[in-house]
Structure 1
Amino acid sequence: MSPPLPRSITGPKLKAFEGDIESVQFKKLLGPDDDEQSHSQIPHSRVFRVTIEGKTFALKIFNFFSLEEIRPDAFGKEHLLKDNVVRHQLDPFYAECRAFGLLVEKKRDDELAVRCHGYVFLSETLERRLERDFGIRDWNRKAEDEGSQLRAIVKDYIQWRSLRHRKTFEVMRKKLEELNKLGIYNMDIREANYLGGRLFDFSIAITFPHLSLWPKLWSVEQILNEKENDLACFDSMVKRVRKKEESERVILPPTEGQKSWPVTRSQKSKALSAGI
């Protein structure tokens, strides 16, 4: 049985997936998890809808990153940044392992994010299948990564494509507050990181203990700003969404015996096509 990861630093760890990963069937490439990055930036991962032993999951497969690509600017305090800690806290795969490791440990992954079933390493056979079926060859490997297996995390597949489905923003914000109280700061709160009201991407998450919350590196004000980032970004997201929803509302002219009522443009299109 593979050990929980990351192994060599203190803090939460994610257990290995217990299913038969070799039986995986790749059904659909859902896309990179960080779709707002520019073309010059390397996506953290690719996400697939898969079946494993007959059950549907989301499989998030991570790219490789060198220490230089993930090392933060410490402004004269670089000597405090140990390579081992940088690797296992800031590499997107390990960042997500730590966040979901704590959520699973507290049995709150399904409540505050999406249910996580553990990490897996993909064999060379599975990597060749990805190349054959999807044309994916580049996983940003460096010389130091040659021979390393692809790393992935298995999660529940979220069928809802909308931002919040039936969840209210008030409920979503409360869950984010609870997440922060656990010591997990997502650091990427935006519309594209929610499906059906659930957070699903934690590849740049800060999970305590973490370099970004270390007083030897950062001022109290800087650390406080990091901790307040999630809720501030959430409130900004809600304002954007509500402004967009309001701009899309139109007034349908009343039919005989009816009053006019506000609807969205998509609802208007459906109503007109139905002859209402």
Structure 2
Amino acid sequence: MAGDVEENRRLLSAPELPECEGPKLKAFPYRDSRITWIEWINPIIDESTSGGEGYVFKVEINSRIYALKVFKFSNPSQYRIALGPMPKRPVTDAELGFHTDPFYAECRAYAQIETRRRIQGLKRKDIANCYGFMVLTREDEEVLAEYGIDLWCDIPLDDEYRIRAEGSPARALVKEYIEEDVEMDEKTRKHILATIKWMNRNKILINDIYPRNFKGGYLLDLGSSWTKPHCLWQNTSRQTLIAVLTADVVRFEEMVEEMGFGTGRSLRSRPALSEYI
């Protein structure tokens, strides 16, 4: 999100997002329905868990339970340095925002997942469902304020983008609510690893493999993902790209080893880079 308040309101009223080349996620079909806020799923316990890109709630919409991820605002200009002093091609502020803002990053990743599954005729579910995006009402934002949540907390008060855009509607994704978690066993490890490799082959780099981002054997967080076409992917040096393109698999195997489970076998049989590019 890189515009002023009115431009951001216009964007979020669209039937699908983002307005750039590549995959687009559709709006939640019932985005005008009232939200019943039930529980804050990931409350901040300490500095190490404040992480991230947003806040997840258990909610009810039209008598159905969902997980609602409400996104913080971020200034996409922080990623411009990653393009380097001489990018391979010019990147507009709007494109940078659509590719790197965690809200839009998730929109693009979930849209790509839906498209590739449909094209490939896949019926087995590997990733928790995302049902679309929605905008929160003023009443909903007041609920967040009662929880002590400030969606602008990561941007300084005197930041030019914040001055221009504060007051923009709060953005959220409506996702499948996963009630139960599962133990990490061999079956679950293989299932998650296969999912990660499938996403990589289908031009999605997750870039955020941590235990907190998995539940019930499903990956839940794609806010740091790169979905091709992506301005950082296209402007990264080959040497760096080699590391980036294998990082998801490597980090997953490191994660299961740290959890006291895993054999490291996948590290010795990583897919060829040609599968990712």
TM range, smaller chain: 0.7 to 0.9
Partner of 1:57: 66
Partner of 1:147: 167
Q: 1:100 aligns with which of 102, 110, 135?
A: 110
Partner of 2:251: 233
SS of 1:68's partner is helix
Matches of 1:23 and 1:74, distance apart in 2? 41
Matches of 2:67 and 2:128, distance apart in 1? 10
Given the alignment of the two structures, is residue 91 of structure 1 paired with residue 76 of structure 2, yes or no?
no
Q: 1:4 aligns with which of 4, 8, 16?
A: 16
Partner of 1:121: 135
Normalized against structure 2, the TM-score is what? 0.77
1:32 deviation in Å? 6.2
Partner of 1:209: 229
Partner of 2:237: 219
Maintained 8 Å contact 1:59/1:152: yes
Maintained 8 Å contact 1:184/1:205: yes
Maintained 8 Å contact 1:212/1:223: no
Maintained 8 Å contact 1:21/1:52: no
Change (3 A) 1:15 1:164: farther
Q: How many residues align?
A: 238
Normalized against structure 1, the TM-score is what? 0.77
Change (3 A) 1:201 1:37: farther
Maintained 8 Å contact 1:160/1:195: yes
1:148 deviation in Å? 1.0
Asked which structure has the greater CA Rg, the reply is 1
SS of 1:112's partner is coil
RMSD: 2.8
1:103 deviation in Å? 1.1
Return 5+ residue gaps in structure 2 as ranges: 1-12, 156-161, 263-277
SS of 2:208's partner is coil
- 2:28 corresponds to which letter in structure 1? F
Return 5+ residue gaps in structure 1 as ranges: 245-276
1:38 deviation in Å? 4.7
1:219 deviation in Å? 2.1
Q: 2:55 aligns with which of 46, 60, 71?
A: 46
The percentage of aligned residue pairs carrying the same residue is 29
Matches of 2:190 and 2:247, distance apart in 1? 17
Change (3 A) 1:242 1:11: same
Maintained 8 Å contact 2:184/2:261: no
Partner of 1:250: none
Matches of 1:137 and 1:15, distance apart in 2? 26
Matches of 1:36 and 1:206, distance apart in 2? 28
- CA deviations on 1:250-269 (whole Å, 9 max, x unpaired) are xxxxxxxxxxxxxxxxxxxx
- 2:91 corresponds to which letter in structure 1? L
Change (3 A) 1:38 1:171: closer
Deviates more, 1:74-83 or 1:205-214: 74-83
- 2:194 corresponds to which letter in structure 1? K
Change (3 A) 1:26 1:166: farther
Deviates more, 1:92-101 or 1:145-154: 145-154
